[in-house]
Structure 1
Amino acid sequence: MAATEEQHEQALNKFLDERPELRHELDNLNPLLAQAKGETAAQYRDERLHEAFEAEAERQGLFAWELTLQLTVPTLEDYQKQRMEVHKEVAQMAGMDWLEYCDLYGLTP
């Protein structure tokens, strides 16, 4: 079960709450940069937030959806369970053998 859009929004909010310096930076972006990209200030800010979130996930060796789960599920057990469910779904969609997939991504089946 992949993270929902609502979960992702919750994760982004928690991510920002834990990083007041990033929130300050995002709240004070130059509006001309957004205009130069043909975006509204809100769209430009949202893009920067998503970039920071994905960079943090990568820094931790996670996919962004894994960081979303990590920030939104109540327990580590729930995180591990949901994480493995999503990985199984991805393996099935890719038509990969589960053990081969686990080996590729360093997962313990």
Structure 2
Amino acid sequence: MNKEEWIEAALPNYIVTNPALQEEISGLSQKDQKDQIRWAFEDEAEALNIETWELALNFSGKPEEEVRALRFAVHKEAAEALDMDWEEYCALNAVEA
């Protein structure tokens, strides 16, 4: 799965944890409900100061060890793409190596 697929898979798990949002959007069309859920999810990630894909991992239902491994792999890939020293990348992005 890629990051976008993680997010899409997490949204149904996310909405069940937010009854206030469920009630607020109950009168909207399915498309508008989906949009509102996505926006609320993105807002929550921003409020937590993490990437949306990272929040998605928290709602994936995967074991914590697998979530940590996936998060680590994505950060490692980003550091390599940026041609950054791993320790420097970790320090700048609050990643525990």
| TM-score, structure 2 as length reference | 0.82
Q: Percent identity?
A: 34
After TM superposition, give the deviation of residue 13 of structure 1 in Å. Answer: 0.3
1:9 aligns with 2:16: no
Q: Which runs of 5+ in 2 are unaligned?
A: none
1:80 aligns with 2:68: yes
The RMSD of aligned alpha carbons is 2.0
Q: Which runs of 5+ in 1 are unaligned?
A: 30-40
| TM-score, structure 1 as length reference | 0.75
Q: Deviations over 1:42-87 (max 9, x none)?
A: 4443332211001111222321100111111422111111101001
Q: Deviations over 1:6-56 (max 9, x none)?
A: x32221000001112211212224xxxxxxxxxxx5444333221100111
Task: Find the counterpart in structure 2 of residue 35 from structure 1.
Answer: none
Equivalent residues, number: 97
